[in-house]
Amino acid sequence: MKPGLTRAGKWLLNALLPRTCAHCGLDLHYLEPAPLCASCAAGLEPLPELHCAHCGLPLAGGGRSCRDCRGKAAGALALVRSAFVFNPQLRSLVHAFKYRAREDLAGYLAGRMAAALEAFPELARYNFTAAVPLHPAKSRERGFNQAELLASGLAARGNLFHLKNVAVRTRNTPSQTALSKEKRKANISGAFRVADRTIVKGRNILLVDDVATTMATLEELASEFRKAGAGSVAAFTLAREP
Ligand SMILES: [Zn+2]
Ligand SMILES: [Zn+2]
């Protein structure tokens, strides 16, 4: 919903175009700013306190590292944290945002990310945000890059500086979701380029994306930033998929 609308404007807009909860479809009150009804919003799950110190994967049994990170040499990506677990309510929000072109959800989601970021003092030294880039063909098809909107919205709300379109995706890679871990790494290798090395040099950068599914994409992008002279590189995503 447009921020500057008066109460009457909101009522009229709602009468013409009723808003519904992005998860359960229930009608929303016309003054409700969130895209979810109260019960679905309460169903969003913050990242549990027990999570892998490196990749942020929730660890039900506790411990410092997940199985994948245990004993692994440190890569370019210092650490990954997420605002929420990728549960059904979050999935509906991401789906509405990305595939039903609900660009208006960006502000709400970035606000939730900014609030969640405060729970991670280990990310406090990352003062610059950068989005995981989409290939231009995909960006044209969707009309926007969801990660760019989240990164700039998070920076505006979290007092960070956003490095706009600082990296580019030079290859339109097939989706990572159907690939094995090894194939994901090969699939994404060489897919990114840092467009402007001078603005990343020596800076601690927080990569921003909607969902962290595989670390391969974030690790590859972090390695390009490090090669371009960035200080430390970490990632913060809206959601973490187990
Ligand atoms: Zn609902
Ligand atoms: Zn891990």
Question: Over the range 33-47, which residues count as b (16 or more CB within 10 Å of their CB) and which as e?
Answer: ebbbbeebbebbeeb
Tens of pLDDT, residue by residue over 187-218, are 888 899 999 899 999 999 999 999 987 788 99
Average pLDDT over residues 163-169: 93
CA–centroid distance, residue 40 to ligand 1 (Å): 4
Q: What is the mean predicted confidence (pLDDT) over 216-242?
A: 95
Instruction: Show the domains of the chain with their CATH numbers.
Output: 7-42 (no CATH), 46-240 (3.40.50)
Of residues 138, 109, 142, 147, the one with CA closest to residue 235: 147
- Distance from the CA of 112 to the center of ligand 2, in angstroms? 23
Which residues on adjacent β-strands are paired with residue 151?
none
In this prediction the pTM is 0.90
Query: What is the rounded average pLDDT for all residues in the chain?
Result: 90
Mean pLDDT of 99-128: 93
Q: Which ligand is nearest to the CA of 20?
A: 1
